[in-house]
Amino acid sequence: MSNDFSAEISSRICQHMNDDHADAVVVYAKAFGGITNASAAQMLSIDAQGMDLTAQVNGEAVPVRIQFNRVLADAEDAHQTLIAMVKQARVKAK
């Protein structure tokens, strides 16, 4: 893991996403993780290469690893990438 993605930064991003953008985390699991029947999801960690989620499918926790299409530089890059990904997924869903 890059120094720019310390455990503290990963934890902060995950807590923010789970607390304030839980709907987006489900979108990631469905659109980029292929878990189309996820009823809920939680972000467990994020690093420069991707993010780890757990998705709820029929009451079961399913681990999901989503690789980014490039290596991220830092937390701000992660922020912008996560926004772009959810917008991309929502456009595809229409």
pLDDT in tens, 41-92: 999 999 999 999 999 999 999 999 999 999 999 999 999 999 999 999 988 7
Please check whether residue 66 lies inside any domain of the structure: yes
Instruction: Report the domain count for the chain.
Output: 1
Tokens at 9, concatenated: 């930064």
Contact present, 53 and 41 (Cβ < 8 Å): yes
Angle value at C-alpha 75, between 71 and 77, nearest 5 degrees: 55
N-term to C-term CA, the chain: 35
Please check whether residue 94 lies inside any domain of the structure: no
Which is more confidently placed, 91 or 39? Answer: 39
**Own/partner long-range contacts of 79-84 (Cβ < 8 Å, ≥24 apart):** 79/13, 82/17, 82/24, 82/28
pLDDT of residue 4: 65
Q: Residue 52 maps to which CATH number?
A: 3.20.180.10
Range of the domain at 61: 3-89
In which band, very low, low, confident or very high, does the pLDDT at 2 lie, cut at 50, 70 and 90? very low
Please check whether residue 76 lies inside any domain of the structure: yes
